[in-house]
Structure 1
């Protein structure tokens, strides 16, 4: 395989949580629907464990545990935002299993969710999965909206660098 072919090789992100895929433009938050923080897709979560969608290093982990970013070995930063308004929980209902600076592989558990507490607080469980620095990638192909995906098993986004 030539270097050019390798550069165009499709890379992928696994579903970080089980649920149903949602088109990013349909997310009821303009920060995500207008792609202000990155490009990708969202998952209406029905699972309770959030996994690493790719190999890399956790380079950002909010104190409120509502979002984290993993930077891949090729420099692509992937953000997983758990629910739309989980920041108001100030970390309640979210248990960090990993921390900033740790290297992870795709499928590594990152967060455990207390679904009952999140639902009691009426948290919208749409979870955007974004490539933040999408200028680094040549093409982003999200999975079709409305499909059920299983965390750590199903590819939800393909991209090329």
Structure 2
């Protein structure tokens, strides 16, 4: 009888930046707005510091430092993409504070970046935060509001 009352596995993502959260469909890039790489939320940063939204492991720091891949203990894969069309900046304006395979806690500083330079040289400073393995997600709730690094931006029920 107890097997019917399986405990829900829940993942809470905190905002990786200070700023404002918006719907993923508002991102000015079809790859994100049409959810080709996964579903999530996007952020408009007001300062150039990116923090870890969860406890997890850094799986990938792109050579151009514009994107980070993370994995949670529960196996949820998260892509954090700093800006739109920032790959062409070739790392200019980005400083990484982490390395691949490093374990991080929610709130740890991952990257610093120059918002003004991104706005000048790329399409946008919007930061999509996307779960790339949605097959592991039973349900997801996103919160659109003014945010700081203590704000919950997403709650995910893991299947």
TM-score w.r.t. length of structure 2: 0.92
Q: Shift of the alpha carbon at 1:10? A: 2.9
Q: 2:151 aligns with which of 124, 129, 154?
A: 154
Matched, 1:100 2:97: no
Q: Distance in 1 between matches of 2:123 and 2:113?
A: 12
Number of residues paired by the alignment?
156
In the alignment, the residues of structure 1 paired with residue 117 and residue 78 of structure 2 have an alpha-carbon distance, to the nearest angstrom, of 27
CA contact (8 A) 2:86 2:122 kept: no
**Root mean square deviation of aligned Cα:** 1.5
Q: Is the 8 A contact 2:85 2:122 kept in 1?
A: no
**CA deviation after TM superposition for structure 1 residue 140, in Å:** 1.0
Paired residue secondary structure (1:37): coil
1:121 deviates by: 2.2
C-alpha distance in structure 2 between counterparts of 1:118 and 1:76, whole Å = 28
When residues 29 and 101 of structure 1 are mapped into structure 2, their CA distance, relative to the original with a 3 A threshold, is: same
Stretches of 4+ moved more than 6 A in 1?
A: none
Task: Name the counterpart of 1:114.
Answer: 114
Deviations 1:23-43 (A, max 9, x none): 111111110011011101100
Kept after mapping to 1: 8 A contact 2:83/2:122: no
Contact 2:84 2:122 in 1 (8 A): no
Residue 138 of structure 1 aligns to a residue whose secondary structure is strand
Matches within 5 A, 1:42-121: 42-121=42-121
Could you tell me which runs of 5 or more consecutive residues in structure 2 were left unpaired when the two chains were aligned: none
Distance 1:68 1:122 in 2: 18
Unaligned runs of 5+ in 1: none
Cα distance in 2 between the residues matched to 1:86 and 1:103: 25
Between 111-120 and 127-136, report the one with greater CA deviation: 111-120
